[in-house]
């Protein structure tokens, strides 16, 4: 058995947490009581740390380490997270939501914890414009993905595919990296959309979503892992081909016109005039052919293998 002295720092920390909790402002008394009675006893110290985080945000203490958005989620043990998920710690969500205002750091923290009491608010935050939700978009999307599939399908899914091509957003790939391998199977329709629309970023999405054995049995994951290189080359051909065909076609028409002119009018001209006209027409046709070839080569070399 460990010496009694080993338990002194731990007990002192808990007592300090309790003292700080009881000394907190009276305005949050109802939420504090709710959280203390609902949460497991082992979460009291963590609750104090989370409350310190909220108070630092409220006081504007930008130098405090408590303002680190990652701290609030990292402070939670699996037991306390289980208490949050089962609704036995409603005071935590109430305390945070009471001070959320327009502070993206608090919103990001709430989404990282994803308490049931805050899911409706999270769904509303995800309807904001792109610039507003940029700092908390990913954790809030993950929260809805795991706990509110209906809201996820309504609010987030329309943004995963964008309009295809160069407009394909990175949220789908970042979301796939943020969730577990077994959860990524639910994102396979996004990969299917990216493949059908030849979207930029499809290969990265394939690497992320097709790692799980169950995912590899799906048709979309049985396609080649690398397709963007082929698509980019085909796009290059489509962009360069019209210019190449245009200039080569003009060169051929110019040559045919010179030949027809000599054939149809050559008998009416005197030998000396015929010689001058034939020489000029041949030289002009040859010059135009050279120009057309050079222009066609330039059109090809200046076009890169890219999707857009």
Q: What integer pLDDT is reported at residue 93 of this predicted model?
A: 80
Which has the minimum average pLDDT: 10-24, 37-51, 204-218? 10-24
Judge contact between 40 and 65, C-beta under 8 A.
no
Average pLDDT over residues 264-288: 66
154 DSSP 8-state letter: I
Least trusted range by pLDDT, from 75-84, 117-126, 130-139, 225-234 = 75-84
With cut-offs at 50, 70 and 90, classify the pLDDT of residue 207: very high
User: Given this model, what pLDDT does residue 74 score?
Assistant: 75
Residue 278 has pLDDT above 90, yes or no: no
The continuous run of DSSP H or E covering 228 comes out as: helix 228-265
What token pair was written down for 187?
């994102």
Confidence of residue 3 (pLDDT cuts 50, 70, 90): very low
Tens of pLDDT along 162-190? 655 566 778 999 999 999 989 999 999 99
Cβ within 8 Å of residue 17, ≥6 positions away: 44, 45, 47, 48, 49
Residue 20 has pLDDT above 50, yes or no: no
The structural domains of the chain, with segments of one domain joined by +, span 4-161, 162-226, 229-301
How many whole angstroms separate alpha carbon 175 and alpha carbon 170?
Answer: 9
Which pLDDT band, with edges at 50, 70 and 90, does 222 fall under?
very high
For 205, phi then psi, to 5°, come to: -65, -40
The winner for highest mean pLDDT among 143-157, 229-243, 276-290 is: 143-157
Is 79 or 68 the better-scoring residue by pLDDT? 79
Question: What is the distance of C-alpha 39 from the center of its chain?
Answer: 35
Q: What is the pLDDT of residue 139?
A: 93
| Total Cβ atoms within 10 A of residue 215 | 20
pLDDT value at residue 30: 40
- Confidence at residue 220, expressed as pLDDT on a 0 to 100 scale: 93
Q: 132-164, pLDDT tens digit by residue?
A: 898 899 999 999 999 999 999 999 998 887 655
Residue 178 has a pLDDT of 93
């Amino acid at each position: 058995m460990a010496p009694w002295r080993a338990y002194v720092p731990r007990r002192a920390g808990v007592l300090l947490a309790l003292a700080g909790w009881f000394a907190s402002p009276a305005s949050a008394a109802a939420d504090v009581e709710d959280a203390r009675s609902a949460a497991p006893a082992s979460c009291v110290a963590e609750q104090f740390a989370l409350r310190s985080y909220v108070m630092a945000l409220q006081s504007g203490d930008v130098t405090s380490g408590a303002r680190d958005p990652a701290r609030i989620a990292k402070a939670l043990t699996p037991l306390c997270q289980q208490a949050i998920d089962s609704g036995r710690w409603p005071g935590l969500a109430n305390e945070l939501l009471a001070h959320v205002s327009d502070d993206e750091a608090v919103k990001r923290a709430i989404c990282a914890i994803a308490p049931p009491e805050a899911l409706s608010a999270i769904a509303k935050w995800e309807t904001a414009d792109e610039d507003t939700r940029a700092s908390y978009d990913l954790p809030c999307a993950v929260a809805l993905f795991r706990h509110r599939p209906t809201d996820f399908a309504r609010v987030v899914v329309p943004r995963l595919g964008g309009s295809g091509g160069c407009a394909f957003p990175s949220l789908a790939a970042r979301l796939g990296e943020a969730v577990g391998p077994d959860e990524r199977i639910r994102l396979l329709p996004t990969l299917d959309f990216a493949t059908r629309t030849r979207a930029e970023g499809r290969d990265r999405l394939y690497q992320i979503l097709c790692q799980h054995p169950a995912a590899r049995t799906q048709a979309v994951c049985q396609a080649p892992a690398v397709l963007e290189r082929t698509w980019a080359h085909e796009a290059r051909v489509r962009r360069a081909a019209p210019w190449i065909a245009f200039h080569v076609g003009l060169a051929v028409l110019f040559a045919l016109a010179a030949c027809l002119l000599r054939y149809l009018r050559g008998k009416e001209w005197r030998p000396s005039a015929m010689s001058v006209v034939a020489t000029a027409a041949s030289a002009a046709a040859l010059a135009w052919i050279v120009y057309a070839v050079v222009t066609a080569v330039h059109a090809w070399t200046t076009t890169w293998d890219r999707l857009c």
